[in-house]
Structure 1
Amino acid sequence: MKFDMGRAWSEAVSLLSANKELLAVIAGIFIFLPNLALALFVPEAMEGPAALDPEDPMAAVQGFYAANGLWFFLVAIVQSIGTLSLLALLHDRRPTVGEAIRTGLIVLLPYFAAQVLLVIGLAIALGVPVGVAGLLGGTTAAVVLSLLAVVVAIYVMVKVSLVSPVMVLGNTLNPVRALRDSWQLTKGNSLRLFAFYLLLLIAIVIAAMVITMVIGLFVAMLGETTAGLLVGGVLNGILTTIWSVVFVCVLAAVYRQLSGPSTEAVSETFE
C-alpha cells in the first residue's frame, strides 16, 4: 500500500478531535505533570548542559547527565507509560481511561525490551564498524563511515517507528515480532514516511522556537523566582504535552493506514 501523507494527517487530526477529552486526561497526568514537577523541583535540569560549563561542552554534558540522569530516567518512564496509554485510547475497541492506562503499564516492559534490542543491534551493526575504521583507517575513514552510519540509523528509525502502535493497537507484546512487523508495514514507504516525519519535525521545531522565545520573555520578566519557575514549567509542560499528543495521533494514523482496518473496525462496519 502506498502511504498517503495527506490522508495520514487528516486521520491524525480526526483522532485528536474525536478523543481530545480523554487524551487530555492521560496526557495531563503522564506528560504535563512530570514536566511541571521537573521544572519546579529540579530547575537545573531545565537549563541544559551549557549552563554547567559552556567552555567545556563534553564535561558539561557529562556533568549535566550525571547530576540529572535519574530524574530524566524517571520522567521518561512515566511519559512512556503515558504515550502507550494514549495510543491505547485510540484503539477501535474504545477503552476507558483506566483500561488504556492498564494497557500502557502492560506494554511498558515489552516496549522497553524492543528499544534495548534496537539500541544493541544498532551499536553492533554501526558502532563496531565505525570504531574499527577509526583504529585501522584513520580519521577520514571514521568520518565517512560515521556519516554513512547516521544515514543508516535514520533509515532504521523510520522502519521501526511503528513499534509502539504495533504493540498497543496490534496487540503484539513480543518485542522481536513488533520490530519485525513495523519493518514489514513500512516496506516500500520508507522515503514517504521519512519525508512525512521530517515535515512534521520541521513544523514542530519552528513552532517550538517561536513559542520558546515568548516563554523566555515571560520567565525573564519574572526572574529566577518561584513564579518564574512555575510559569516556565507550566508553559514547557503544555508544549511537551501538545507535541506528544499530536505525535501519538500521527503514529496511530500511519499504523491504521498501513495495516488496514482492524477486526473491531470491520465488525463495527457490518453491525
Structure 2
Amino acid sequence: MEALADIRANRDLLLTVGAFFFLLPTLVSLVLTADLQVGLAKAMENAKAMKAFVEQHGSTLVLATSAELLVNAFGMLALLRLLSDRYRSTVGQALLAALQGIPGLVGIAALLMLIFLAALTVVAITLGSLLIAVLGEAVGGIVTAVVALAVGGLYPLARLSMAPPALVLEGQINPLRAALWSWRVTRGNGVALALFYFLLSMAFGMVGLVTMLLFGPLLLAVAGQGMVFYLLAGVLNGLVSLAKWLLLTAVLYRAYRQLTEKAGVAA
C-alpha cells in the first residue's frame, strides 16, 4: 500500500510530529477529564444518573473532545504538507501552513454539518413517514437516519475529502474555494471514495474495539477499576489514535496525488 510506504519512508518525522498532535492531546484530554470519565462510567449504569451527568458535565466533555479534534486536525494538515515532495517543507513551514489552513478546515466542517442537516430534513420529509409506516417507528427511524447519513454525510464527505490537501498544498485557504476544488477533483470517484472511507472507518473501529477487548481486561486486572485504569487505557487509546491519524493522513495524501494526476493537476 502506497500510504504505508509513505509512512515508512518518513517514519521518524511523522512519529515525532504525530506524537505531539495525536498521542499527546489524547493523554492531556484524559488527564484533564479523568474524574469525569470515571463519573461517566458509573452514570452509564442508570438512565436517570446518565441524564443528570450529561446535563451537568456534557458541555465540558464536548468542549474537551472538540479541542482534541482541533489539535488532531492541525497535525493532519501539518503532516500533509510534510509529505509533499513539491514543497519539501521544514517542520516550521508545515506548522505555519497548517495554522493558515485551520480556519478553512473549520469552515468546511461547518459546511458538511449543514449539508447533513439539510439531507436529514429532506429525507425525513420525503421518506421518513413512508419508512416508518412500512417498517415501524423504530426500524423506520433507523433506516431514515442511515439513508440521511449516506446521502448527506458519507457521500459529501468523500467529495470534500480533498479539501484538507487543497488548504495546505494548493493554496486554497478559502473554505468555499477548497470545497469546490475538492468537488471538481473527485468528480466520478465519489461513490468509490465513500465506500473506501466507510470501510476504512469500520477497520479503525474494529482495531480500537479489538485492542480494548484484548488489553482492557489485562489493564483492569493490573490497575483495578479506578483512575489508574483510565490513565493506562488512555495511553493505549492514544497509541491507537496515533496510528489511525498517521494512516488517515497518508491515505489522504495518496488519494490527493492520484486524483490530481488523473485530473491533470500538478501535485
Shift of 1:190: 2.1
Q: Mark the runs of 5 or more structure 1 residues left unpaired by the alignment.
A: 1-9, 266-271
Task: Quote the offset at 1:86 in angstroms.
Answer: 1.4
**Residues 252 and 48 from structure 1, CA distance in 2 versus in 1: closer, same or farther, beyond 3 angstroms?**
farther
- Among 65, 71, 77, the alignment partner of 1:78 is 71
Residue 137 of structure 2 corresponds to which residue in structure 1?
Answer: none
The whole-number CA distance in structure 2 between the counterparts of 1:135 and 1:14 is 45
The more displaced of 169-178 and 147-156 is 147-156
> Which structure exhibits the higher relative contact order, with contacts defined as CA atoms closer than 8 Å and separated by 6 or more residues?
1
Q: Deviations over 1:50-107 (max 9, x none)?
A: 6423443983784463341221122122122111111111122211111111111111
Q: Structure 1 90/45 Cα, relative in aligned 2: closer, same or farther at 3 Å? A: farther
Q: What's 1:155 paired with?
A: 155
TM-score calculated relative to the size of structure 2: 0.82
- For 1:52-67, what aligned pairs fall within 5 Å after superposition? 52-56=43-47, 59=51, 62-63=54-55, 65-67=58-60
Partner of 2:238: 237
Change (3 A) 1:223 1:130: same
Q: 2:62 aligns with which of 64, 69, 72?
A: 69
Note the residue ranges of structure 2 that are not aligned, 5 or more in a row: 135-139
CA-based RMSD: 3.0
Report the counterpart of residue 178 of structure 1 in structure 2.
178
Count matched residues.
254
In structure 2, the CA distance between the partners of 1:203 and 1:96, relative to structure 1 (3 Å rule), is same
Cα pair 1:50 1:61 within 8 Å, conserved = no
In structure 2, the partner of 1:41 is: 32
Cα pair distance change 1:128/1:49, threshold 3 Å: farther
Classify 1:243/1:48 alpha carbon distance in 2 versus 1 (closer, same or farther; 3 Å).
farther
Give the TM-score, by structure 1 length: 0.81
What is the percent sequence identity of the aligned residues?
28
Counterpart check, 1:122 vs 2:123: no
- Shift of residue 204, structure 1, vs aligned partner: 2.5
Q: 1:229 to 1:196 in 2, by over 3 A?
A: same
Q: Structure 2 CA distance, aligned partners of 1:164 and 1:60?
A: 38
